[in-house]
Amino acid sequence: MKKIVIVTDSTTDLDQSLIDKHHIEVIPLTIHIDGETYTDGVDITPEIFMKKMAKSSELPKSSQPAVGKFVETYQGLLQKADQIISIHLTSGMSGTFQTAESAAEMAGGDITVIDSQFISKALGFQVLEAAKMAENGFSKEEILNRIQQIKEVTKLFVTVDTLDNLVKGGRIGRGKAMIGSLLNIKPIASLQDGVYTPVAKVRSHSQIVKYLAKQFADDVKGKTAKAIGIAHADASELAHNLKDALLQVRPDLPIDISFTTPVVSTHTGPGAIGFMYYTE
């Protein structure tokens, strides 16, 4: 039986206990803020990063792992595994996927690199299922087919509390942001085909909860909700309010909440939440 190892990056928002339990290899991105460089998930916590970002005059920058780091990791893993499946955040937000592809060619061996087309826990859905299947002896082809199935039925919504980071990141114009701030508009977007796509505008946290809960309720009618995740950027109260509303729809399903990675917080700014699920 061929041994398969699952590799991902630090934007999965998977709990460390799951990463350890299922022997998932994580290659971290880096964060640059105020002249300092930090390794995502290693030497800076999400909470400390948020405090630094609040004081910083410039938008922090995230960097994909160096190609050499991928090559080193792949070659090391191939000493004890026959195949590698490397699943990464959407190529629409980072060059990590392309770097991993280049590294796979350089490393040699049986390495398959996947663009998850998602980020955060939605990426984690694919990674965790792949790791569980690898442990249970499924073939590479079976795992890749399952990843594709999950990708096609996953939904990710993100809502931001401030438009500042979207302006600094070049995702919306300053004029629109000024109008949006005056009207207290809180945009809700989805990640469709790996691209940030606006879907609604609301004016309060309660409306955010109402909108997302309704989207979920409509989408899961007649289906099985396999997993739900909420990631937040210093917005624990909003995340838990959404969880309470979702439990009214599906009271039997565990809902995982976590503080998101600094890489995601850089794009969204403080007060944002990401809501992700997949169904069958």
Mean per-residue pLDDT, 201-210: 92
Average confidence (pLDDT) over 106-126: 96
- Return d(Cα 280, Cα 273) in angstroms, integer: 24
Q: What is the pLDDT of residues 215-266, one digit of tens each?
A: 999 999 999 889 999 999 999 999 999 999 999 998 888 999 999 999 888 8
205-214: average pLDDT: 95
- Cross-strand bridge partners of residue 273: 159, 232
pTM for this entry = 0.90
Q: In what order do the strands lie in the sheet with 61-63?
A: 36-39, 30-33, 61-63
How much of the chain exceeds pLDDT 70, in percent?
Answer: 91
Are the beta carbons of 256 and 121 closer than 8 angstroms? yes
Residue type, 27: I
CA 222/CA 35 separation, integer angstroms: 52
Dump pLDDT digits (tens) for 36-74: 999 998 888 899 999 998 888 788 888 999 999 999 999
**CB neighbours (10 Å) of residue 105?**
10
| Mean pLDDT, range 267-277, rounded to an integer | 90
- Which strand (E) or helix (H) includes residue 83? strand 83-88
Nearest to 229 by CA among 275, 167, 163: 275
For 160-192, write each residue's pLDDT tens digit: 876 554 555 554 444 444 444 434 678 898 988
- Cα separation, 160 vs 255, whole angstroms: 20
